[in-house]
Amino acid sequence: MLTMWVTLLLVAADDLATLPKQLAAWMRQTCLDENRARAGKLPSISPALLRQLAGMGNNLNQIARRVNAGAGTGHDRVQVVAALMAIDAGLERLRHAVLEKGAEDDR
């Protein structure tokens, strides 16, 4: 979900001339210490790996739906949720590895 805030920035005429032309990007970087996501080319990934990851994601969604629907005992649900959290952490590490590989490829 995108939330928008409108902020009024009052600056003197002399200061206005010194602000960068890409003010939004400058404010994100300066005020929020945030860098925009790079729009560069993503690293190439094996189609077989993508299919396998997609299948894993589908299985995880099915498990999550059953847990949310109340299937199984409380103990089963705790174990499943713990396993889902571990899998999520592994997928996050994989995502970071792929992004780092892309950054290396850009160099």
DSSP letters, 39-83, are: -SPPPP--HHHHHHHHHHHHHHHHHHHHHHTT-S-HHHHHHHHHH
Number of domains in the chain: 1
Q: What is the pLDDT of residues 81-107, one digit of tens each?
A: 888 888 888 888 888 887 777 666 655
pLDDT the model gives residue 98 = 77
Contact 87, 60 (CB under 8 A): yes
Domain membership flag for residue 28: no
Q: Give 38-76 pLDDT, tens digit per residue.
A: 566 666 777 887 888 888 888 888 887 877 787 777 788
Give the model's pLDDT for residue 32: 78
Considering the domain boundaries, does residue 89 fall inside one? yes
Q: Is the pTM of this model over 0.75?
A: no
* Domain residue limits at 72: 47-106
Q: What is the predicted pLDDT for the residue at 107?
A: 56
